[in-house]
Amino acid sequence: MSLLRRWKNAAGPLAGWYIPAAPFTALELYGSPQIPLRERMNPARLDSLGHSLAQRLMLTEQGQAVQSGEAAMVIDLPGAISAALGLGLQEVGITPVLLFNGLYRPDSFIEGKNSLPAIIRYGSKLKPWSGQPGYAFLLERERTGPEPPDIMSLWRTFDNRYHAGVHLFPPFEKLKNSGVTAFIDLRLAGDELPNDANRFYREAARSGLDVFQAALPADWLLD
């Protein structure tokens, strides 16, 4: 579980306790997924993308608000991109908090083919938290999985789909006490807000936190 400790140490004392163990348990039980060459995400491309996205975000008002600790960013992108961006944001002074909760295994709805290798790659490069006030919560957009084509699929396929919600995040009061006044939702332009995220933000608003949305321009992914 040394990889889990790296992600926890990077998240710091406030958020590190909330990083789910499921992906790391799956890694110990089932190993890293076997990915056909045509389905693999290019590691060098991901490295470059994570770095460039972080640099561009830091030029926005939203990025500055997160770096200052006034707001926390919720990054709801494909898992591999979220993990790469997490490392990129740490390099510019924002704390990455991994909230992937997939128990990845073969013959399941979410096999983690790209998410798990990214967790390994970028977790191994993280540095321990050193007091940065701003948080970026990393979600895996694939978490709700594909809809089963028929009822028999639920018998044949391990159902490891999951939802984001208050159970994954540090308590709102703890975040507010640390200075956070708002969440900024970041997702691909044109991606509708999923039901689980919508419920989470409604809970956040009821607790007194503001919620803003930011769309990631498609051309930012063409680095």
Nearest to 107 by CA among 156, 171, 57, 66: 156
Give the per-residue pLDDT at 196: 97
Percent of the chain with pLDDT over 70: 93
For residue 51, is it within any domain? no
Query: How many helices and strands, by DSSP H and E, does the chain display?
Result: 9, 5
Q: What are phi and psi of 75, to 5 degrees?
A: -100, 105
Q: Could you please report the per-residue DSSP string of 32-98?
A: S----GGGPPPHHHHHHHHHHHHHHHTTSHHHHHHHHTSEEEEEEE-HHHHHHHHHHHHHTT-EEEE
Count up the domains in the chain and report the number.
Answer: 1
Distance CA 98, CA 16 (A): 9
Residue 52 lies in a domain: no
pLDDT tens across 3-30, in order?
999 999 999 999 999 999 999 999 999 8
Average of pLDDT values for 175-196?
Answer: 96
Q: Is residue 167 part of a domain?
A: yes
Helix (H, G, I), strand (E, B) or coil at 155: helix
Predicted confidence (pLDDT) at residue 1 exceeds the cutoff of 80? no
Range of the domain at 117: 2-31+62-222
